[in-house]
Amino acid sequence: MDDKLWDTYTMIIRANSPEDIFGVIAGQDTSRLEQSAKVEYQRLAKIVHPDHHHGNQREEYIANEATKYLNEMYQKFCGMLVKGAPQQMGNNAASRPGDDIEFTVGGYTYRFGRNDYQIDDFQTFFGERENNGSRENICLKVPLDVDDNGLIENEASILGRIAHKSLPVLLGTIAMKDGRKANVFRMIPGFVVAGAVSLPGGYTIEQIHESYPQGFPQEHAMWVLERLLSVLGFLHSGGIVHGNIHPRNVTIVPQNHNAILEDFTMAIADAVGGGVYKGANAFSAPEVAPGVHPHPRADMYSLGKTIAYLLGDGIGIPAQSVHPDIRRFIDEMTDSDPTTRRDDAWKAYHDLVDIREKVFGPHRFIELRIPKKS
Residue 193 lies in a domain: no
Mean pLDDT within 62-91: 68
pLDDT tens for residues 318-339? 666 889 999 999 999 999 999 9
Residue 233 lies in a domain: yes
pLDDT range class, residue 367, cuts 50, 70, 90: confident
109 and 256 inside one domain: no
Residue 261 lies in a domain: yes
Supply the pTM of this predicted model: 0.73
By mean pLDDT, which of 201-215, 233-247, 248-262 is the weakest?
201-215
* Contacting residues for 314 by C-beta, under 8 A, at least 6 apart: 209, 213
350 and 226 inside one domain: yes
* Contacting residues for 21 by C-beta, under 8 A, at least 6 apart: 11, 12, 15, 40, 44, 70, 73, 74, 77
Tell how far CA 178 is from the center of its chain. Answer: 29
Residue 315 has pLDDT above 70, yes or no: no
Which CATH number covers residue 166? 3.30.200.20
Tell how far CA 250 is from the center of its chain. Answer: 8
pLDDT range class, residue 26, cuts 50, 70, 90: confident
351 and 220 inside one domain: yes
Give the count of domains, the chain: 3
Residue 59 lies in a domain: yes
Mean pLDDT within 143-167: 91
Residue 188 has pLDDT above 80, yes or no: no
Q: What is the mean pLDDT of the chain?
A: 81
Distance CA 154, CA 247 (A): 21
**247 and 283 in contact (C-beta within 8 Å)?**
yes
Residue 194 lies in a domain: no
228 and 326 inside one domain: yes
95 and 77 inside one domain: no
pLDDT tens for residues 270-298? 877 678 888 888 899 999 988 888 999 99
Domain that holds residue 166: 91-186
pLDDT tens for residues 91-107? 333 333 334 577 777 77
300 and 214 inside one domain: yes
Residue 260 lies in a domain: yes
Beta bridge partners of 112: 101, 127
Domain boundary among 83, 116, 137: 83
Residue 373 lies in a domain: no
